[in-house]
Amino acid sequence: MGGRVIDIHANQGWQDTGFALPAHQADTGWILRSEGAWCFNTGARDFATRDANARKPNDTRFFDAATSGRTEYPYHGEGGQVGQLIGRWGTSGQPFVVGTHANLEDTGHAGGGTLWLRINDDDKGLRDNDGHLTVTIATYDRTRRTQWNTVEKRWEYSDDHSPVR
């Protein structure tokens, strides 16, 4: 499995990954996965520490911090939450939710630019953020079956890091 690993910092705005989706290849796909936690308000760290899906790590409760309709947030569409990992293609693309896993070919890429990532927080709010997520962008072989583990909410890979068949 080829790939690139990048840290995306919570106290920075849009961060260029340098990754451009190559032309469609019938047997190769691109996925993104993120790990770790970041905080969108250090003054309320217990509430504001989240993973890329805007969930509190190791906590099954859901804390609603919706951004839907709140235009000061970069992603303010349906399902938007403060603390989510979001992306866009190029410097002016439409933001989309990435979360902990994304198939990059399903993100509305229109052939323009590299992938940019950031925390879904308003620009004024970045100054009280800290932490980072570690993001891996990797290829997978479309001819082999990739398994999504619904219990643990993660992709499963074999020992050589190729997708599980």
pLDDT: which is higher, 81 or 141: 81
* Minimum mean pLDDT range among 93-97, 99-103, 134-138, 144-148: 144-148
pLDDT tops 50 at residue 153:
no
* Residue in the structure block whose two tokens are 């219990």: 151
29-71 per-position pLDDT tens digit: 788 999 999 999 999 998 899 999 999 887 766 667 889 999 9
- CATH among 2.120.10.30, 3.40.50.2300, 2.60.120.430, 3.30.390.50 for 3-137: 2.60.120.430
Mean pLDDT (the chain) is 82
What does the pLDDT read at residue 104?
78
Provide the whole-model pTM: 0.81
Task: Choose from 52-56, 72-76, 147-151 the range with maximum mean pLDDT.
Answer: 72-76
What is the structure's pLDDT at 165? 38
User: Is residue 127 within 8 Å of 105, Cβ to Cβ?
Assistant: no
Give the pLDDT confidence score for residue 108 in this predicted structure: 67
Between CA 37 and CA 85 the distance in angstroms is 10
Q: What is d(CA 31, CA 68) in angstroms, rounded to the nearest whole number?
A: 26
Res 163: pLDDT: 45
> In this structure, are residues 29 and 155 in contact, taking their beta carbons and an 8 Å threshold?
no
